[in-house]
Structure 1
Amino acid sequence: MPRLDGLAALPYLTEHSKVIMVTTFDDDDYVDAALGGGASGFLLKDAGAGLLIAGVKAAANGDALISPSLTLDLLSRRVAASNADTHILDRLSKREHEVAKLVASGQTNQEISETLFISLSTVKTHLGSIRARVEARNRVEIAAAMWESGVMNRPKG
């Protein structure tokens, strides 16, 4: 981009639309700055057309998509920087907690619906409530909250 790089342009673009960063840069600071600046996704250029289409659909639905190769590093950094803010998760009902854990494990809405034997619209309703209760803008932030809380690192039982 001749006048502004993607990060500099981001605040101007997010005022009017959803933005998915598509770049060759997989630098941790660049990823964090893009997501912190309001990007609805972050994909590497070599991700392929299928993932780009999924990213556009996710953004259109109010969700976010991060290149799989970046996701674990992103979550690890957020966990390391966190003070394990578990009180946020105390705001969730038992079912919302189950849905949030499945989001954090990478399941799609359809997969969550099938796993919990609930309708797709019920999954979406729970996600809206979860976003409001944990003050998350999208699925990525819901997943991050779950990982930051340490709940994803606890043994099942």
Structure 2
Amino acid sequence: MTTVLIVDDQSLQRYGFRMLLETAPDTEVVGEAAHGAEAVRMAAELRPDVVLMDIRMPGMDGIEATRRIIAAGGRSRILVLTTFDLDEYAHAVLRAGASGFLLKDARPEELLAGIRAVAEGDAVIAPALTRRLLDTYAHHLPGAPQGREGSMDPRWRALTDREREILVAIGQGWTNGEIAKHLVLSESTVKTHVGRVLAKIGARDRIQAVIFAYDLGLTRPNTPG
């Protein structure tokens, strides 16, 4: 059973999410929070598997709430739900430690699948949406070192040549299948390499690896591929 805390300042939105989650036999809503500070408190008390986090809320927003929940070192993982085209702070909440990002108008089955994926330790942003997200918001990201492709970063130096290829591909938003086809490897081999890359760079999931690749200047928006 996956336990979920719903965080949104709109009561009707929270009600809608609760109604949906209560139809799934493998999810349980353990609480609702109307703002960030309440979310931080309830996450500490209830220790949900997943926190469905809105970004724009009065008082403490979802970015700061995410940062504090992650910093507390608890078990909860954050799945952000917001209106993509309007929210210029999307990349910030991912940097704060969120494990995924979905649109509020996602289909019910997509939301439920996203919750399950995050609870299992995976990222839930589809590669196509990863590309769109980073293409849109990359100009907000801090400047990354250019020309040497992050060669001074010890985490980059710790990777093998093959793992560096994998990291660049992850940064471009490729699926394991796409990476396997491009590098002429089996998907199981790619999955193993991805796991090693995440471990070596200290990333919780693929989303954090994408951000790491962008920070090092390994890939930029609209990289051909």
Secondary structure at the aligned position of 1:141 is classed as: helix
- Contact (CA 8 Å) 1:96, 1:127: kept in 2 or not? yes
Of residues 19, 25, 34, the one that matches 1:4 is 34
Q: Percent of pairs identical after alignment? A: 34
Q: Deviations over 1:25-46 (max 9, x none)?
A: 74333x3453244321121213
Q: Which amino acid aligns with 1:44?
A: L
Distance 2:189 2:119 in 1: 19
8 Å Cα contact 2:180-2:186 kept in structure 1: yes
- How many aligned residue pairs are there? 153
* Larger RCO: 1 or 2 (CA < 8 Å, sep 6+): 1
Q: 1:131 to 1:32 in 2, by over 3 A?
A: same
CA distance in structure 2 between the partners assigned to 1:7 and 1:77 by the alignment: 26
Q: Name the Cα RMSD after superposition.
A: 3.2
Larger Rg: 2
1:74 Cα offset (Å): 4.1
Greater mean deviation of Cα atoms: 36-45 or 4-13: 4-13
Give the TM-score taking structure 1 as reference length.
0.73
5+ long unaligned stretches in structure 1: none
Give the match's secondary structure for 1:22.
Answer: strand
- Runs of 5+ consecutive residues of structure 2 not aligned to the other structure: 1-7, 10-32, 49-68
**Cα distance in 1, alignment partners of residues 185 and 119 from structure 2:** 23
2:134 match: 71
Deviation at 1:100, TM superposition (A): 1.0
Is the Cα–Cα contact under 8 Å of residues 20 and 40 in structure 1 kept in the other structure? yes
Q: Using a 3 Å threshold, how does the CA distance of structure 1 residues 104 and 54 change in structure 2: closer, same or farther?
A: farther
The one-letter code sitting in structure 2 at the alignment partner of 1:71 is: L
**SS at the partner of 2:98?**
coil
Residue equivalent to 1:140? 207
Asked if the contact 2:102/2:111 (under 8 Å) is kept, the reply is yes
1: CA distance, partners of 2:125 / 2:143: 19
Structure 1 position 132, deviation (Å): 1.9
Separation of aligned partners in 1, 2:113 and 2:137: 19
In the alignment, is residue 28 of structure 1 matched against residue 88 of structure 2?
A: yes
Bigger shift: residues 16-25 or 2-11: 2-11
**Shift, 1:77, TM fit:** 2.7
- CA–CA distance in structure 2, aligned partners of residues 70 and 55 of structure 1: 17
Q: Does 1:149 find its partner at 2:192? A: no
**Taking structure 1 as reference, are residues 19 and 73 closer, same or farther at Cα in structure 2, changes over 3 Å only?**
same
After superposition, the C-alpha distances for 1:93-140 in whole angstroms (9 at most, x for unaligned) are: 111011111111111112212222222222122112111221211111
1:99 aligns with 2:166: yes
- Structure with greater helix percent: 1
